[in-house]
Each structure stands twice: as structure tokens, then as C-alpha cells.
Amino acid sequence: MKLERLSSNKIKIFLTFDDLMDRGLTTEDIKGNSLKVHKLFYSMIEEACTEMDFDMIGSIGVEIFSLKAQGLIVIVTREEDEDLLDDSDSIFELDVRLADNFHIFYEFRELEDVIQLCRLLKTFGLDSGSLFYYGKCYYLLLKDVSENLHETVISVASEYGCPTTMTLCRIVEYGKTIIEDCAVETMNHYFK
């Protein structure tokens, strides 16, 4: 489980499928939205909030994003309503929304790995994407990959890099945009 504070009232929890299996959960369990799932998520969120010194007072919203073949990203947001921050009012409302994300976001240590991946992606008919640089790493974002190619692209991308837990907002704000659009096509054009 990896944790990141996004703001004073929001944290991000990245759970790999191994983390979920260790707790006896599958994505099918989560989609079922049962009482068991609520209890397990409550304990995981409580553990993360304690570690991040994030008070669970007031209304708490939980968004869960499934990253195919990578894991889950859980965004925990505390309502900033002054009336809800009264210490006597300790309510925990779990609002779980599960959304499939067909974006693929990978991190690479070397530019050569990005070049090699882009050569393979071209054979699948992909030419879009954005390329970023931040903290001595390259980040390739592939948006709206078709559902039938999604698993294949993730498998191939995993040979050259690893899925990132960085948020796109952070990389856009603090990193450098190398290629904003058509990154796969552009990389193949300049690196033959």
C-alpha cells in the first residue's frame, strides 16, 4: 500500500492486487459493494489516515479507480464544511464509486525504454499519448486505449517500465511536457 497526500483534505492510496489479496478482496468483491467490503475498506482507510495524520472527522468521500492489471487507486476526501468539523460530530460516511479507467500511465527510468515501447505500440496501431519528464523519470500516458487492446498494451508496457502511482496533475504541474499529443507517433518519427 502506497500513500500520498494530495491536499490538506485529500489523500491517495495505491493498492496492488497483492495488497487486496492479502486482505481477502478481489475487484469482483468491490463491485458487489457488500458489508464485508465496507468493513475492510474502513480498516484500510483508517490505517492509511493514521499513517498520514489525516483526521477522519465529518463526511468522508471515497473514490475507487480500477487500473486494469495494476491495482486500485483510492482517493479519500474529507468534507471541508466547518459545521462537520465539530469534534462531537464524528460521522464516517462511506460513499464508494468504482470506475474503470482505460488510461495507461507508466514510468520509465531511461528514454531508450520509451523508444522501444513506442516501436511496439505502433504495431498495434497506437499513435497517441503524452510524454513527460519528472524527477529523473519519463512518464508515458496513453489515453482511451480500446478495451480489446488494454491488457496487451499493459503487458507490453510492463516489460519496459512500471505503472506509476504519481498523479497526472503532479507531473503536469512540476514536470516537463516533452510531447503533448501523438507521443507514440512522434517518438517513432524521430527515433527510427
How would you write the pLDDT of the chain (192 residues) with one tens digit per residue? 788 887 888 888 887 777 777 877 776 776 666 777 777 777 877 888 888 788 777 777 777 777 666 777 778 888 765 454 444 444 444 555 444 556 788 999 999 999 999 999 999 999 999 999 999 999 999 987 887 888 788 888 888 998 887 888 889 999 999 999 999 999 999 998
Q: Which pLDDT does position 79 carry in this prediction?
A: 76
* Contact of 11 with 54, CB cutoff 8 Å: yes
Domain-ending residue, one of 101, 135, 155: 101
CA distance 177 to 147: 26
* Contact of 67 with 163, CB cutoff 8 Å: yes
* Contact of 102 with 96, CB cutoff 8 Å: no
Q: Which pLDDT does position 30 carry in this prediction?
A: 66
Q: Are residues 10 and 80 in the same domain?
A: yes
Q: Are residues 7 and 95 in the same domain?
A: yes
Backbone dihedral region for residue 129 (phi beyond 0: left; psi -120 to 50: alpha; all else: beta): left
Q: Are residues 138 and 182 in the same domain?
A: yes
Assigned C-alpha cell, 131: 510524454
Q: Which pLDDT does position 180 carry in this prediction?
A: 95
Task: Count the domains in the chain.
Answer: 2
Give percent of the chain with pLDDT exceeding 90.
30
* Contact of 177 with 130, CB cutoff 8 Å: yes
Domain-ending residue, one of 58, 75, 101: 101
Q: What is the spatial order of strands in the sheet that 176-179 belongs to?
A: 162-163, 104-108, 137-142, 130-134, 176-179
Assigned C-alpha cell, 112: 531508450
Q: Are residues 92 and 164 in the same domain?
A: no
Q: How remote is the C-alpha of 116 from its chain's centroid?
A: 24
3-state DSSP: the chain helix, strand, coil percent, rounded to 5?
A: 40, 30, 30
Q: Which pLDDT does position 100 carry in this prediction?
A: 54
CA distance 156 to 163: 12
Q: Is 1 helix (H, G, I), strand (E, B) or coil?
A: coil
- Residues with Cβ < 8 Å from 34, sequence gap 6 or more? none
Parent domain of 168: 104-190
